[in-house]
Amino acid sequence: MHDTVIRGGTIVDGNGGTPFTGDLAIDDGRISVVGAKAGPGQREIDADGLLVAPGWVDVHTHYDGQATWDPILAPSSWHGVTTALFGNCGVGFAPVRKAHHRELIDLMEAIEEIPGTALEEGVTYDWESFPEYLDALDRQPRAIDVAAQVPHHPLRVYVMGERAINREPATAEDIATMCALTEEAMAEGAFGFTTSRTNSHKTLTGDFVPGRYSEVDELIGIGSCLAKFDYGAFGMNSDFDDEQGEMAWITDLARQTGRPVWFLITQNIRDPERWRRLLAGIHAARATGAPVSAQVACRPVGVLLGIGATLTPFSAREAYQELLPLSGDERLARMRDPAMRERILKSPNSDVAMDRLSPSRVRAITRWDRMYTFGPDADYEPSEERCVVTIAAHSNRTVEEVVYDYLVEGVDRFLYCPVSNYVDGNLETTREMFLDPATLSGLSDGGAHVGSVVDASMPTYLLTHWARDRKRGPRLPLEMVVKAQTSETADFFGFTDRGQLVPGLRADVNLIDHEGLRIHTPHLVNDLPAGGKRLIQGVDGYVATIVAGQTIFENGEHTGALPGRLVRAGEI
């Protein structure tokens, strides 16, 4: 008698092979039968017409704070994610001294756009060291599994204090201490180290983040400790100011430590061919035996602009500044006043407001030719007919008037602005990046950018847009998009007990009505601590999500089960 038997589903096992029909049995939280006719189960699920796939392993999230108070970790858990890895982009909440509690909250708010008031109430800081932070995560009951990486910015501030905040060079002693602390964290279960070297990451005051201009010696010094472990990766978000120099030290670090080094790649509007050069550099590094990879997104990296969101195309205008303290509904009421409409449309941008925005945010609110209507469907590959410039050309209004009148239709009315991966007005470049053997699926940013992005739905998007619906170009095979977010992500980071439907592995499983799978239009809620606002995006079609053999969601409803845990690297 098996604990659970899933009968007659279409099994997509995560290995990239052709889907097949059969049974899947679960015993003691592990998979015991795949494909063959299984004996009776204490619980039996009729999966005829459903996909049976591994739970998604999302390796680029920012639940560093939310994971300390929220057992559900929605919206990622709604979209079939059963393992979430955070500590990305060099930001997080450990290690930390009491004097810098607020600085780390401000950094997370500025970089990942999570309300500081929510973090201040939700993050208890009952830790100082990174191992103590892992212990705090371990104590929290949860629905899905979580894991963490060591973030550079908190580490640097912990060791260097104000010198780090002022972006001063690290001394040899500083580097040795950061290396020792990273080694300590890895020994206690961290899955690696991440940093950020991009102008897109700024503090709330518009300054660059502590690690933006860290010397290469500092990064190599910290990264060198990974050589002592048979797990862990070194991750980075970089502007590649010096492409050849950056690739050279990345290659050396990967070759010397033997551990994977990865960085983010997107198609940049200002340099549309840079991604090709970087991928060529990765393949050259691999040819020398260096395990270098790129992490890519499956859709444009963009923002939603709206009156209830963090940004509108008018956010930096002087007349709009007086509306910033208002709630979304109050702002909407004021903007529907014809006199306010005229004032905002004629108002210039404030230099102070523009200086506080990252370069990508500046582009997002100023490039009319990159703004598309986004409703009632969630269309992340919009045609030119949805561009506001095209709409204006077919009307008697200016583009500013078109945008203004569209947004004041409601607080949940959004424009979609693809900041990168959409230079050509389609997703062919994204498809090419995704198919490259040197890339890894990521960048969902689950839990982050909560007022302008809700890309935690990316795992579902792979199954809907890419494997079922795409009309503007070739689709991707279902077995490929499943493998990309299960065994590939799990194996890369060392989650060796999951990511495939194979006897003996952990029973993390999604049962999916593929034909009925539908991503909802995003909407705003105020459900973070202290009433913090965020965008959420629901989904239809996940019939069940199972973690360690226990069903945590049925048809979108949490069952109350909390089988999730902290996963520690080296203990799997």
Q: Is the pLDDT of residue 199 over 90?
A: no
pLDDT at position 355: 84
Q: What is the mean pLDDT of residues 95-122?
A: 95
Under the banding of pLDDT at 50, 70 and 90, the label for residue 359 is confident
Residue with structure tokens 């890369």? Answer: 492
Lowest pLDDT segment from 178-192, 231-245, 352-366, 411-425 = 352-366
pLDDT at position 226: 98
Biggest CA-to-CA distance, the chain? 73
Q: Could you give the CA distance from residue 173 to residue 472 in angstroms, rounded to a whole number?
A: 55
| Domain range list for the chain | 2-53+507-558, 56-300+422-493, 303-419
Q: Which structure tokens are listed for 224?
A: 């060198």
pLDDT at position 3: 98
pLDDT mean across residues, the chain: 96
pLDDT at position 198: 87
Burial class (CB in 10 A: 0-12, 13-18, 19+), 572: middle
Q: What is the mean pLDDT of residues 326-346?
A: 96
pLDDT at position 18: 98
Q: Is the pLDDT of residue 26 over 90?
A: yes
Q: Could you give the CA distance from residue 362 to residue 344 in angstroms, rounded to a whole number?
A: 18
pLDDT at position 202: 79
pLDDT at position 208: 82
Q: For the segment 456-480, what is each residue's pLDDT rounded down to a tens digit?
A: 999 999 999 999 999 999 999 999 9
Residue with structure tokens 């529907």? Answer: 336
CA distances from 54 to 352, 545, 570 (A): 48, 9, 22
Q: What is the number of other CB atoms lying within 10 angstroms of the CB of residue 143?
A: 23
| Residue of 229, 119, 252, 236 whose CA lies nearest to 569 | 229
Q: Could you give the CA distance from residue 8 to residue 37 in angstroms, rounded to a whole number?
A: 9
H helices then E strands: how many in the chain? 19, 25
pLDDT at position 223: 98
Q: Is 282 helix (H, G, I), strand (E, B) or coil?
A: helix
Under the banding of pLDDT at 50, 70 and 90, the label for residue 206 is confident
Under the banding of pLDDT at 50, 70 and 90, the label for residue 130 is very high
Question: Measured on CA atoms in the order 426, 431, 432, 438, is the torsion positive or negative?
Answer: positive
Lowest pLDDT segment from 70-84, 200-214, 262-276 = 200-214
pLDDT at position 210: 85
Q: Could you give the CA distance from residue 471 to residue 43 in angstroms, rounded to a whole number?
A: 40
pLDDT at position 570: 94
Burial class (CB in 10 A: 0-12, 13-18, 19+), 466: buried
Q: What is the mean pLDDT of residues 122-140?
A: 98
Dihedral pair phi/psi, residue 132, rounded to 5°: -70, -35
Q: Could you give the CA distance from residue 330 to residue 514 in angstroms, rounded to a whole number?
A: 40
Q: Could you give the CA distance from residue 507 to residue 119 in angstroms, rounded to a whole number?
A: 33
Residue 31 contacts residue 459 (beta carbons within 8 Å): no
Note the residue count of the chain.
572
For domain 56-300+422-493, the question of CATH label 3.20.20.140 is answered with: yes
Q: For the segment 477-535, what is each residue's pLDDT rounded down to a tens digit?
A: 999 999 999 999 999 999 999 999 999 999 999 999 999 999 999 999 999 999 999 99
* Peptide bond before residue 382 is cis, with ω within 30 degrees of 0: no
Which residue type occupies 425? Answer: G
Q: What is the mean pLDDT of residues 83-94?
A: 97
The fold of the 2-53+507-558 domain, in CATH, is Urease, subunit C; domain 1 (2.30.40)
Q: What is the mean pLDDT of residues 45-49?
A: 98
Q: Is the pLDDT of residue 413 over 80?
A: yes
Q: What is the mean pLDDT of residues 448-452?
A: 95
| Residue of 378, 447, 440, 455 whose CA lies nearest to 57 | 440
Percent of the chain with pLDDT over 70: 100
Which residue type occupies 427? Answer: L
